[in-house]
Structure 1
Amino acid sequence: MLTIGEFSNICKVSTKTLRYYAEIGLILPDAINEENGYRYYSIEQLEKMLFINRLKSYHFSLEEIKEILKSEEQIEEKLFLALAHKKKDMEQKAKELDKTLQQLDHDLAHLKQGKSIMSYLEEIEVQLVEVPKMYLMSIRKMVHEYEFADEYKNSFCNLFQKIQNKNLTMYAPPMVLFHSAEFSPLGLDTEFAIPIVEYAKGTRDFTPGLCLKTVLKGSYSNLSSVYAKQREWAETKGYESSNALYEVYITDPSQVESESELITEVYYPVRKKAKTN
């Protein structure tokens, strides 16, 4: 048997942490002296503690580790699935961190050149264009921010199926219209749409008219910068919103190897502000 101090030293876990693990039922002492309350652990428990430490190093929460340990007969199968999921999650976080580091290097380079890290806004081009009427096959719903990726995929799959079933002709790339200015507890009023050539049952007219247009090449995370630039342009030139802002996805995100290949057109329908006395 090992005292709690010996067990702590071997596994590199503090005695305070071991007592906490016992409180939550993660790993209990093998024996407790009733007279003095001293805790003892068996040699066999060393492997269990090392197993817990290994999962902690993979950023599993204590609750997740408890669930895995409860599996008993199915522990290998459950562990494999949990590790595979954790690996995928960590790879995604590593990509995001790498992207952030690249942006950080870019900003450092700008500062060394005496430029502001916000100088990239000057490179965003805003055009004033006239967009003709189009027919839309669409699905409109309230969408929470965390649901958007799944709703994007599901809604456009449904729309493509409808277009195929009705023998309609796609006129332009898929687009998303945002009918509300901000997120509410119910989500954002969002319309997933595909322009088609024919006017048919289930379609609607959409006439954007005069619009501010910006072509974004790269990550969708830069869309907020485009929105800000367009709003600034509109305010400076004396324009105001006249219809739902919309994005046109020139490239399919599922068909590109990296975010740098993404091309998105952002349209902000506007009209001249009325002159005030």
Structure 2
Amino acid sequence: MYTIGQFSKIGNVSTKMLRHYDKIGLIKPTFVNPENQYRYYEKHQVQDILKINRLKKYKFSLDEIKQIIKDKSNSTLEKFLSKQISLFETEIQQSNNILLHLKHSMDQLQKGEDIMNSKRSFHILIDTLKDTTVLSIRDTISMDNIGNLIGKVFENIYKSGLSPLGNIRTIYYDQDFDQNSDSDFDHNNADIEVCIPVNRQLKTDTVSTKVLKGGLYVHTTFIGPYSEIGEAYAELLDWINKNSYKIAGPPHDEYIKGPDSKCSHNEFVTEVYFPINKK
């Protein structure tokens, strides 16, 4: 047997943390001396503590680690590994995007350009949009995970034998632009619907298309990274207020040119739409 101090050195974990593991039932000493409450661990538990350390390096929570260790079939481990791989892939992609943005900014700065003040101009248009048949998924997610939601919609389209017919749209239901509202927009818990136009209507047990109602919209084209698209929103809101219109529903973005086109994020093209009515 090993004392808690010896086991602490073997497992490279503090005695305080070992006591916490005991408390939550993650790894318990095999024997506790009733006279002095000293804890003792056995040799077979060395693999257990090493396994816990490895799973912590994978950024699993202690609750997730408990579930993994409890399930001897490894199905829980496979599920959590898949989730964690997806999470890290998303984080890596986000970091790569930031790195590209930083390098581009440095290049502009070295050329003497003003990188902190935008020189964009916007052309505001009004159009009546037609009804559109779409396949969509609505979910409350982080704005950083919109790409995953888009992928799921495309997966449902191809599984159902449908064909995409137009640009991807994202509708933002909780971006409340009512002048009388002071509600906050939560970047990490946004109510978003990803819609992709399809060639026909369909209703099955698992997949159903819907019709996006058309109507009067004011819109403008934004060229640049999604992180700066707020400029287009500001221009449209100013135009709506100055021209005696009111917002008639949630806004949406339509992606004209994005990451799939293999261009720089500074060349992304997005059309921003607001449904409107006359006051």
The TM tier, using the shorter chain, reads 0.5 to 0.7
For structure 2, the residue ranges without an aligned partner over 5 or more in a row are 177-182, 200-209
Q: Secondary structure at the match of 1:213?
A: strand
Mapped partners of 1:7, 1:85: distance in 2: 31
Contact 1:2/1:42 (<8 A) preserved: yes
Larger radius of gyration: 1
Residue 100 of structure 1 corresponds to 98
Mapped partners of 1:51, 1:189: distance in 2: 38
Supply the AA of the counterpart residue of 1:38: Y
Residue 213 of structure 1 corresponds to 220
For structure 1, the residue ranges without an aligned partner over 5 or more in a row are 165-169, 197-201
Supply the AA of the counterpart residue of 1:85: K
Task: Please state how far the C-alpha of 1:227 moved relative to its aligned partner.
Answer: 1.0
Mapped partners of 1:129, 1:224: distance in 2: 17
Mapped partners of 2:171, 2:6: distance in 1: 64
Contact 1:127/1:213 (<8 A) preserved: yes
Distance 1:233 1:95, change over 3 A: same
Q: Secondary structure at the match of 2:254?
A: strand
Supply the AA of the counterpart residue of 2:94: E
Question: Structure 2 length normalisation: TM-score?
Answer: 0.66
- Output the aligned Cα RMSD: 4.6
Q: Which has the higher mean CA deviation after the structures are superposed, 44-53 or 239-248?
A: 239-248
Residue 67 of structure 1 corresponds to 67
Give 2:230's match in structure 1, choosing from 215, 221, 224.
Answer: 224
Give 2:124's match in structure 1, choosing from 124, 128, 146.
Answer: 128
Residue 167 of structure 1 corresponds to none
User: Identity over aligned residues, as a percent?
Assistant: 27
**1:194-240 deviation per Cα after TM superposition (whole angstroms, max 9, x unaligned):** 599xxxxx97874436x341234554x443342124334656x6564
Supply the AA of the counterpart residue of 1:89: L
Distance 1:86 1:203, change over 3 A: closer
Question: Structure 1 length normalisation: TM-score?
Answer: 0.66
Task: Please state how far the C-alpha of 1:98 moved relative to its aligned partner.
Answer: 2.9
Give 1:146's match in structure 2, choosing from 137, 141, 144.
Answer: 141
Mapped partners of 1:2, 1:138: distance in 2: 67
Mapped partners of 2:12, 2:30: distance in 1: 18
Task: Please state how far the C-alpha of 1:66 moved relative to its aligned partner.
Answer: 0.8
Task: Please state how far the C-alpha of 1:156 moved relative to its aligned partner.
Answer: 11
Distance 1:224 1:157, change over 3 A: farther
Distance 1:270 1:63, change over 3 A: closer
